[in-house]
């Protein structure tokens, strides 16, 4: 780690080669001067994003990161340790929504969804804990969804009330619980751990969101805000860019 890098905020974003993750990486590097580490399952795709940011004069690098592979996660942690010696911000962005795919078993649907959205996210966070603890202000942002709110999901006036996304919804409720637990785990070092709902964002998550969602740049707003809080900023919260969301 050189002297210049020592003064930067080092931020890892999972699933950062496209969509919301890419928008988040772009905003953090360009608007807040973070050194963003582009986590991407496809190494070449991640390299291209990092190189594009570097070409514009911003701080970025990339790391191959597959949430379904412990080998990949541990290699990413080792790479960050060797290059930077710490991690200041972890943004758990990567996730899937596959409920609408036809001809899949219930077990298969839930297993695939939880493997990525919950288990993979937990494994990544756990692997990065030692690096986060080396930061003077460790921050974690879990990208969740209003659809994971138990209270909101009981309101039959919500737009998604009748949508059958039970595996995705359940996984995001579990992600919210991960955030609460990691807030507890990092409380001894003043960590700030929050959950952000980006809203309906036009990404490749599903055909519906790609057609009707807002621009990823706008969706990244709350994620970026929570990734840049100071030591007095919020922690153990669930919110979108407009308001707090009940758990």
Active site residues per annotation: 168, 172
Phi then psi for residue 50, to 5 deg, are -60, -45
Among 51, 20, 47, 25, CA closest to 36: 25
39-75 burial: b if 16+ Cβ within 10 Å, else e: bbbeeebbbebbeebeeeebbbbbbbbbbeeeebbeb
What is the C-alpha to C-alpha distance for residues 247 and 244, in angstroms, rounded to an integer?
9
- Angle at alpha carbon of residue 69, lines to 18 and 103, rounded to 5°: 75
- Residues in Cβ contact with 71 at an 8 Å cutoff, skipping those fewer than 6 apart: none
Q: Take residue 97 and report the two structure tokens written for it.
A: 């929504």
Q: In this structure, what DSSP letter does residue 146 have?
A: G
Q: In this structure, what DSSP letter does residue 213 have?
A: P
Positive or negative, the CA dihedral 40, 64, 140, 160 is positive
Q: Are 199 and 219 in contact (CB under 8 A)?
A: yes
Phi then psi for residue 88, to 5 deg, are -90, -35
């Amino acid at each position: 780690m050189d002297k210049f890098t020592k003064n930067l905020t080092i931020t890892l974003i999972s699933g950062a080669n496209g969509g919301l993750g890419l928008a988040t990486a772009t905003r953090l590097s360009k608007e807040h001067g973070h050194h963003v580490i582009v986590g991407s399952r496809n190494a070449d795709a991640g390299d291209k994003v990092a190189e594009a940011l570097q070409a514009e004069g911003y701080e970025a690098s990339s790391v191959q990161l597959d949430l379904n592979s412990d080998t990949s996660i541990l290699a990413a942690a080792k790479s960050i340790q060797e290059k930077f010696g710490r991690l200041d911000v972890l943004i758990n962005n990567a996730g899937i929504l596959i409920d609408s795919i036809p001809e899949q078993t219930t077990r298969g649907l839930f297993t695939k969804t939880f493997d990525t959205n919950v288990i993979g996210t937990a494994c990544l966070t756990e692997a990065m804990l030692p690096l986060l603890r080396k930061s003077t202000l460790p921050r974690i942002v879990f990208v969740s969804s209003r659809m994971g709110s138990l209270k909101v999901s009981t309101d039959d006036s919500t737009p998604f009330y009748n949508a059958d996304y039970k595996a995705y919804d359940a996984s995001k409720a579990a992600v919210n619980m991960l955030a609460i637990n990691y807030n507890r785990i990092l409380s001894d070092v003043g960590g700030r751990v929050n959950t952000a709902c980006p809203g309906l964002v036009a990404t490749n998550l599903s055909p519906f969101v790609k057609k009707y969602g807002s621009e990823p740049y706008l969706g990244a707003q709350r994620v970026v805000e929570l990734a840049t809080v100071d030591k007095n900023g919020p922690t153990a919260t669930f919110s979108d860019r407009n308001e707090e969301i009940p758990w």
